Structure 1
Amino acid sequence: MKAAIVTIGDEILIGQIADTNSTFIAKALDRIGVQTVEMRSISDQREALLHTFSAYQNQVDFVVMTGGLGPTKDDITKKTLADYFEDTLVRNSDVEQHVVALIEKVLQRPASQLNKDQALVPSQAQVLFNAVGTAPGMWIQKEQTVFISMPGVPYEMKHLMEQQVIPKIAAEYQRPYILHKTLLTYGLGESVVAERIEAWENQLPEYIKLAYLPAPGRVRLRLTARGTDLKLLEEVVAQAVAAVTPLISDILVGFEEDETIEVVVGRLLAQSGQTLATAESCTGGKIAQLLTSVSGASAYFKGSVVCYATEIKTKLLGVDPQLNATHSVVSAEVAKAMALGVQTQMQSDYALATTGNAGPQKGESDAEVGTVFIALATPQEVVVERFNFGQPREKVIDRATVKALEMLQKEILKNL
């Protein structure tokens, strides 16, 4: 089955906000065997909406939309859907009661007529009840295509996808299975890896596709299998993995099941019963932000010290000022002292520390722009690595953040 994902709103088109909704929706659909064939962002204008509806009509099984369902005049998705379906808007009493109760409880004021009008939906639509917001979702079909409309607020969209949309699709439609297996390799470039496994790749069955997902210093190899027999897919993918493993055993460090590095690291820490703390300078709290975005992180993440200024490294982490004077603030020695300092302060098993020159100016250190030192304190030792992530500044911060978590992941796996 095929789907198109449509995000509605000028705030996306002008770059005011990032479209994270499409990523979430695509992953959720993929897990139940629905293939996303296209993503599109459009303006909240009648002509753009009608053109998009017509373009996808009978070309895909599902058009999954977010945005344009607010109470203000510029939110016209419902009205345009009604026009497209030659339908009228009717008031849903259950939704109106929910809207009134939510406004009165949360905002402690009477619901306005604009608020109450969020209960207006096309008469042909099945209402997807939004327990965490005021705008209901809608499910409406024309010919061979189902149009699913949800609010653009991420937590409301996620609630509706998880509680309403995905269960409904799974219950009402027969779908193929989509199985992914991703192998993580480090140390060789994409072309070198491809040469090593060319013969193996050529022997893969037609229903299994291999994708190379390169990033600096690593290549992910993602196997994707589609079919109606899940057991067969699992067996064939397992055989393919077993066959390729000896060819890349020296660079293979693990597997990734469509999970982010922070999720993988968090699970490893939780399984081992160990804890982590971070001391961040050039990454500015980005490592801590990723870790705490995972539900349940409090079980293994103790906290972070964002010590951007040199004197804070001394005051909060006990970094000897002489280290800064002798080696500079961007050095292996300072990174090591930061990691040990936060490990001691927070009594954690592991500690990560970053210090570097993210640019574009050099700042307090003469280190080349892009230089980052990452220190990992373990229960036994401290490992420090030096990197140069180039420019621009955002790339330096992002790559240092991911590299720090990768260092931690490899260290934990060594000790399991």
Structure 2
Amino acid sequence: MPSSLAPWSAQRWHALFCTHQPQLLAYLTGKTGSRDEAHDLVQETWLRLAAAPAQLPDGSSASQEAARAYLFATAKHLALDHLRQRGVQQRSLQDWQQLQPPSASDVADQAMYRQALDLVAQVISALPARMQTALLAHRLQGQTHADIARSLQVSLNTVERDLMQADACLEAALLRWRGDAQGTRQAAARRRRRGALGALLGAAGLACVGWPGWQLWQQRLLWQGRLASGTGMQRSLDLPDGSQLRIDAASHVELRYRAGIREAQLLAGAAFFSVARDTSRPFVVQAGPVRIRVLGTRFGVELEADAVLVQVESGQVRVERLGSDQQIVLEAQQSLQVPLADSEAAWQAQPQARPAAWRDGELVFDQQPLGQVVARLGRYSSRPLQIDAGAAQLAISGHVRIVLAERWLRSLPQLAPVQVKTQADGALLISLRAKR
């Protein structure tokens, strides 16, 4: 009789995963061509297996072989998804490079681009109000057809018809413009740029009533992405412009690349940015009420419970508070902690020998409240960490190896007047030690 199917336990999957982890890493390195990307995919493979254990035959030999096949099939599918995403990013970068505005020295080409953008502005200003709204929402803001239909309270077919008619109007106007300009531009490079601009404007609708066309070119959304990580898991991502992003455990970053600016928003945790220099497109990171602007540099940003921490490894960054005149320029090996709450206190940069030490598997605390330290270590703990109000206010300094975080927590009674106990649900509770 065929063996019955049953879900494997997390322990069995973990044992199998550990046994085949070296082969899995080698397999994914060959697939992606990058050992760092392979490490990330190995972690994703394990998280996928742990979240949804597969049903496999109960028989010993058949079960082991089926589990191994399922393990490598899961890794293969994740690698294919990753390679597809990388291809999209590379195509976005190629499109971006092709659609650069002309250089400041090419006055004729600059005039040509502005004429085309002015034409698009005129065409869109003449569209019916609903069609104009749908076009700008979809082409400029990136909204889906379904979102636009809900917003305008019309059917999906109506939105699609409006967008097709708007695109047809733009394309017809640009075809007329290209025909008029053809006799004055003979160089092959300029013809290529005209074709690229026509494709961009005809398909994207960059203009808006009352807005200069050049401003809208700057705001055009060219690429967007996100990177998130789970407990105990760090991840990295190569960005379309050659920059690199690395995030700590339990972190989340969203990215938007526009024609005139590269934007990132840190929604949770910590991130480290290695930014490719581009003087025409500054790189801006927002974390809570704090905005960090750079051209090309390496720096880390971390969202803490009550502050934003900025640490610079190389280059310079300008840190400012939204809606305020407060700002400061940080140099290499400097850091700044900005309170989330409004404060009139002057900002003071501090020396920082090891920016974003979490990248090296270590955390550094200098007279920080124990409550913040425990919350930070919670990003790596498989069990809940709890601390009472009294112990949370104790100031703690030290270096903690991330892989030994729980051992360090259990040794806290040697460093501070606290006790550490395991609760019935497995949580670790840290509380003030009773006075004798």
Q: Compute the TM-score of the two structures, normalised by the length of structure 1.
A: 0.24
More relative contact order, 1 or 2 (CA 8 Å, 6+ apart): 1
Q: Compute the TM-score of the two structures, normalised by the length of structure 2.
A: 0.23
